[in-house]
Amino acid sequence: MFSYILRRLGALVVILFGSSFLLYNLSAISTDPLGDLRTSTAENKEYLILALTRELRLDLPPPLRYFIWLRGVLGIFTGNANFGLTREQEPVIEAIAGAIPTTIRLVAVATIVAIVLGIALGITSALRQYSRFDYGMTFFAFLLFSLPIFWVAVLLKQYLAIDFNDFLVTAKISPPWIIFFSALVGLFWATIISGSRRRVLMVFSGVFVANSIFLSFISATEWLSYPRLGPITIFIFSIGIAYAVTYLSVGLSDRAALKSNLLLALIGVIIYFPIQSLLDSNRPRVGILTLLAALLISAVSVSFIFARIDS
């Protein structure tokens, strides 16, 4: 056992050394820290280039600079670690320490969401085995699993963070996006609601038209700029979620599960407004998403319990 651990640790050291060496040199070769200064029109351009060259030791080849950096990193074992400085003259180790809390929160939230959605969709797919929903969720799961994580992260950052914030300035949904989202939602519900081809086509067409009207209304009123949901809207959403979850899990014929889900929806509506004081009033969407997520989780859990009891 001891020799096995030593072999694994040795392999880990070799992998860390090789990967860091390759990444460091590839980054050094593919980038030019002096690029902006070379095209600058400043009078002291030559002095700035010389100063930055000395500071970053750009007069040395990248492999040699790597071992200089590695010597500072290995100083962690002697209590004198030196990860270098950023372009803003901030110690890299302080920049990393400042990013750790945000990284932990991001990973924790992502893990919780993945567990909740994975279990909920897994239970629903198992209860509707070999249905269109089961095949659709299986295909979607394998598709996401096969995509590179770093590539998906870049896309999410670009479109859900940067571009979406720019979109909220005007909050206008263009007709092509309305058609795209409506077709996507229609395909989703047509996959869930199984039946004959005619029924699937009717579901797709109905959802497509309804969603197009809904998105057009949201775009015209610029609701996304100032989102608000009144008690009636929240009640309708809650009842809709209760019926949808019951249909997906055990079917609407199971009256016990339907009643329990409707009861949970009613409880969610009742407690929604009292707990608003505990949430940030400047960000009402957080409360809405919390309510919807809680209703979904509770409804799936209770439906599964009733389904197991009845079986």
Question: Does residue 222 form part of some domain?
Answer: no
Q: Whose CA is closest to 264, among 287, 241, 284, 286?
A: 241
Question: Does residue 252 form part of some domain?
Answer: no
Question: Does residue 132 form part of some domain?
Answer: no
CA distance 114 to 127: 20
Question: Does residue 203 form part of some domain?
Answer: no
Q: Does residue 281 contact residue 236 with C-beta atoms inside 8 Å?
A: no
Half-sphere exposure of 61 (CA within 13 A, CB side): 3
Q: Residues 51-78: pLDDT tens digits? A: 878 877 888 888 888 998 888 888 877 7
Q: Output Rg (C-alpha) for the chain, integer angstroms.
A: 27
Question: Rounded to 5 degrees, what are φ and ψ at 97?
Answer: -65, -35
Question: Does residue 220 form part of some domain?
Answer: no
Half-sphere exposure of 227 (CA within 13 A, CB side): 14
Half-sphere exposure of 241 (CA within 13 A, CB side): 23
Statement: the pTM of the whole predicted model exceeds 0.85: no
Neighbour tally for 257: CB within 10 Å? 26
pLDDT band at residue 80, thresholds of 50, 70 and 90? confident
Question: Does residue 219 form part of some domain?
Answer: no
Is residue 108 within a helix (H) or strand (E), and if so which, with residue range? Answer: helix 92-127
Question: Does residue 22 form part of some domain?
Answer: yes
Question: Does residue 99 form part of some domain?
Answer: no
Number of domains making up the chain: 1
- Structural domain including 26 reads 14-82
Q: Residues 98-123: pLDDT tens digits? A: 888 888 988 888 888 888 888 878 88
